[in-house]
Structure 1
Amino acid sequence: MRTRPVLVYDGDCGFCTTSVTFAERRIRPQCEVTAWQFAQLSELGTTQQRAEREVLWILPDGTVHGGAQAVARLLLSAGSGWAVLGALLRLPPLRWAAAGVYRLVANNRERMPGGTPACALPRPSGR
């Protein structure tokens, strides 16, 4: 049984990998970190489809937070000033704004610093 949260990210995306490396070095979240490509997603209570679309913060009890709320949880776990920022990102209207900014960045991550064409989100089936 896990005792720490797990941060799941896209290990094939240069932007995502750079962001997680920054978080590990500077923010220092209290969690395990794994690329979804190496994770047992079903054991973590999530799917590949979800992990491809957003960063995930998975609590030991199996609760899954995605996107901006995963980032907020990551910040909260780090304590100090980071925790204040994480707490603010959980409150409306900042929560709504954070979700919009997260989706904008995620949808364009191949254009972000460190991004490559491999970072692009998978296209929905049927297109």
Structure 2
Amino acid sequence: MTPTFVYDGDCAFCTTCAEFIERRIPTHARVIPWQFADLDALGLSQEECEEAVQWVAGDGATAAGPDAIALLLRDAGRAWELAGGALQLGPVRLAAWPVYRWVAEHRHLLPGGTAACSLPQAQRDLLFGSQN
């Protein structure tokens, strides 16, 4: 199975970040919004994908949040691999989760973010209709 990086396609900030990954980071992974992914085949739940970005390795192993980002970077090789390795170091990893949570909770305020970014999927579905 091809490694897969899953993000929230309804969030403009997340989509902007995913587009950066696709343009600038030479990963072998498929980068896909969870709304268009076969979550069952990937072994993921909607709740997990709403909580954080997800990495599904070729062997099916998963990681979330900054751990997923670190694995994506390591997959890209070269200088990106160094950045991914640094993100996995104990103290950096420990600090990365609170930073990730803060960004996730405030993504609607960040460049490219929209008000919809701050809503859980169930509320987005009620307001804008289900995309599944």
Native 8 Å contact 1:14 1:119 kept in 2: yes
The question of whether the paired residues in 2 share the 8 Å contact of 1:53 and 1:121 is answered with no
Structure-2 residue corresponding to 1:114: 112
Whole-angstrom CA distance in 1 between matches of 2:56 and 2:119 = 21
Deviation at 1:32, TM superposition (A): 0.8
5+ residue gaps, structure 1, are none
Alignment of 1:12-91 (within 5 A): 12-91=10-89
Deviations 1:42-89 (A, max 9, x none): 110110011012110101221110000011011101111111010011
TM-score by length of 1: 0.91
Q: How many pairs does the alignment contain? A: 122
Native 8 Å contact 1:8 1:56 kept in 2:
yes
Q: After superposition, give the CA deviation of every residue in 1:97-126 in whole Å (9 maximum; x if it has no partner).
A: 111111110111111110001111429xxx
SS of equivalent residue, structure 1 residue 93: helix
Deviation at 1:9, TM superposition (A): 0.6
Counterparts of 2:80 and 2:101, CA distance in 1:
21
RMSD: 1.5
Amino acid at match of 2:37: A
The unaligned stretches of length 5 or more in structure 2 are 122-132
1:28 positional shift: 2.0
Separation in 2 of the partners of 1:105 and 1:43?
28
- Whether the aligned pair in 2 keeps the contact of 1:52 and 1:121 (CA below 8 Å) is no
Q: Supply the AA of the counterpart residue of 1:26.
A: R
Identity %: 49
